[in-house]
Amino acid sequence: MTVPRILVIDDEADLRELVEITLLKMGLDVDSAESLATARTLLREQEYALVLTDMRLPDGMGLELVREVAGTSRNTPIAVITAFGSADNAVTALKAGAFDYLSKPVGLDQLRLLVQSALRISAAPVAADKATPAMDGGTALRLMGESALMRDLRAQIVRLARSMAPIAISGESGSGKELAARDIHAQSARVDKPFVAVNCGAIPESLMEAEFFGYRKGAFTGAADDRDGFFQAANGGTLLLDEVADLPLAMQVKLLRAIQERRVRKVGATVEEPVDVRLISATHQDLAECVEKGRFRQDLYYRLNVIELRLPPLRERLDDIGMLADAILAKLAAPGARRTTLTPAALAALRAYAFPGNVRELENILERALAFANHDVIEVADLALRSASLPAGLPAAAPEPDLPAIVPAPLPPTWSAAAPAMVATPALPVALPDHLDQVEREIICRALGQTRFNRTQAAELLGISFRQLRYRMQRLDIHEPD
Ligand SMILES: Nc1ncnc2c1ncn2[C@@H]1O[C@H](COP(=O)(O)OP(=O)(O)OP(=O)(O)O)[C@@H](O)[C@H]1O
């Protein structure tokens, strides 16, 4: 087996030597250069498993080399060493194609971690574009779709999977942001390590720090044992910060620090611990607008938004609807049962529908339609699409079939009998949280009733995301009637 060879470029002899010794101790071969010119000559003559370059060199900037190496078809990973506190340089290098960076003073643990990731990347073959069904039992994860937009997206994902650069995924609710993040992880050299997805909008603010960074035994009442947080759980792997725009400002500051330092401190601990986590963030909100409105910190935005990935809404890729529908119906079919199909008119109706809830809504619509379809065929009426979205000539949904009423639990006795007689406003509830839960339960049940339990549409009616609705339904114990 050939020993991987690393090229180190730095004009500071001390630093070069430190890096060289560390790499040699790791059993690697090392070449070194003190200028861009020497590095270019070596790169023409040799294949390297990793190029590690300082940013400032006597004859130019390391960034030039990043662009040159990233621009070749060899897929050699290149990383930069940036001056202390120079976050701008790190972000610029990642955008230019560097797979990772180290800040001065160079920590040997971090150097070793970076080298190990680079070696995994250079050993991994570049994945071909296979639109493996994402719905075949949950093993394959790739985003499906044969439209040009989806092909481009998958190609982008293959490239991005080879770097450590933070990725910000944007796109409407249900367009596949989480699936894209899982796909990036699955294609990366981190695939054997955990993928942890966190819904930032669903964690109570008071628990956030403990949930993200973990806590030490006795840090607060109820902390009976030491516990890891999301960062430790995702160590070596990928952490998806979903609904990142919902992070409270105080938590944004702590997160920024963790990203910059690549270290976290458990609540109640005195020392920080290094973490090696690839960050992906996702939101259906316009994060730049959140920054403008002062709801999201600009510095954190800048760190998370190094590379942007936009998931197109389903209505921009109508060509994918047929194959997605087939795959969803196949997934929903009972084992051994005949496959249900769409009539041409039903497919045309779907292609004309706006899909505000994107692929998730398509899943939802088909799941409900299956319950109403006769003889393994789904007609336009079974889809129960909102008529405003149907094209002329297609019949709107049939009158509502008899659906079991969604009945919220009876109102608990929360109203005080002792309301002052002269005040016309209702008495105060004696237990506010119970009362608010009851009000919320009733409103959610009404919305679900109106949409025939289409959760995507119900969430839209209520102006919340699908995930927020799902979380609230779980919390309030609301289930679809049988
Ligand atoms: N291109 C696709 N191919 C196959 N399945 C998809 C695709 N896009 C989305 N899905 C499916 O649609 C559902 C919603 O996807 P996902 O959770 O990734 O969306 P999201 O954009 O993260 O939603 P939200 O903004 O509500 O969090 C999932 O069941 C996912 O498997």
The domain spanning residue 455 has which CATH number? 1.10.10
- Whether residue 182 is found in the same domain as residue 296: yes
- Whether residue 176 is found in the same domain as residue 299: yes
Q: Comparing 99-113, 162-176, 263-277, 297-311, which segment has the lowest mean pLDDT?
A: 99-113
Find the angle CA(41)-CA(43)-CA(47) to the nearest 5 degrees: 145
Find the angle CA(62)-CA(67)-CA(71) to the nearest 5 degrees: 145
Residue nearest to atom 31 of ligand 1 (CA): 179
Find the angle CA(319)-CA(320)-CA(322) to the nearest 5 degrees: 90
Residue 97 Cβ inside 6 Å of ligand 1? The answer reads no
**460 in any annotated domain:** yes
pLDDT at 427 over 80: no
- Whether residue 276 is found in the same domain as residue 166: yes
Residue nearest to atom 23 of ligand 1 (CA): 174
**137 in any annotated domain:** no
- Whether residue 349 is found in the same domain as residue 294: no
**378 in any annotated domain:** yes
Residue 355 Cβ inside 6 Å of ligand 1? The answer reads no
Domain boundary among 72, 101, 123: 123
Residue 142 Cβ inside 6 Å of ligand 1? The answer reads no
Residue 145 Cβ inside 6 Å of ligand 1? The answer reads yes
Task: Tell me the whole-structure pTM to 2 decimals.
Answer: 0.76
Give the per-residue pLDDT at 124. Answer: 66
- Whether residue 265 is found in the same domain as residue 374: no
- Whether residue 170 is found in the same domain as residue 258: yes
Domain boundary among 261, 280, 310: 310
- pLDDT by residue (tens digit) across 94-104? 989 899 998 88
pLDDT at 40 over 80: yes
Residue 174 Cβ inside 6 Å of ligand 1? The answer reads yes
- Whether residue 279 is found in the same domain as residue 193: yes
Give the per-residue pLDDT at 169. Answer: 96
- Whether residue 69 is found in the same domain as residue 22: yes
Residues spanned by the domain of 466 = 432-476
**130 in any annotated domain:** no
- Better-scored residue on pLDDT, 363 or 423: 363
Which has the closest alpha carbon to 147: 310, 319, 314? 319
pLDDT at 425 over 70: no
Residue 128: Cβ within 10 Å count: 7
- pLDDT by residue (tens digit) across 245-267? 999 999 999 999 999 888 999 99
**153 in any annotated domain:** no
- Whether residue 291 is found in the same domain as residue 167: yes
**Structure letter (DSSP) for residue 215:** B
Residue to probe by mutation, ligand 1, list 241, 280, 315, 359, most atoms within 8 Å of CB: 359
- Whether residue 235 is found in the same domain as residue 344: no
Compute CA distances 5 → 28, 37, 43, 122, whole Å.
6, 19, 11, 11
**341 in any annotated domain:** yes
Sheet holding 167-170, edge to edge: 195-199, 238-242, 278-283, 167-170, 307-310
**392 in any annotated domain:** no
Residue nearest to atom 10 of ligand 1 (CA): 176
CA of 363 to the centre of ligand 1 (A): 9
CA of 188 to the centre of ligand 1 (A): 20
Residue nearest to atom 15 of ligand 1 (CA): 176
**186 in any annotated domain:** yes
Domain boundary among 101, 123, 145: 123
Residue nearest to atom 26 of ligand 1 (CA): 173
Q: What total of structural domains would you count in the chain?
A: 4
- Whether residue 339 is found in the same domain as residue 297: no
- Whether residue 243 is found in the same domain as residue 358: no
- pLDDT by residue (tens digit) across 331-354? 888 787 788 899 999 999 999 999
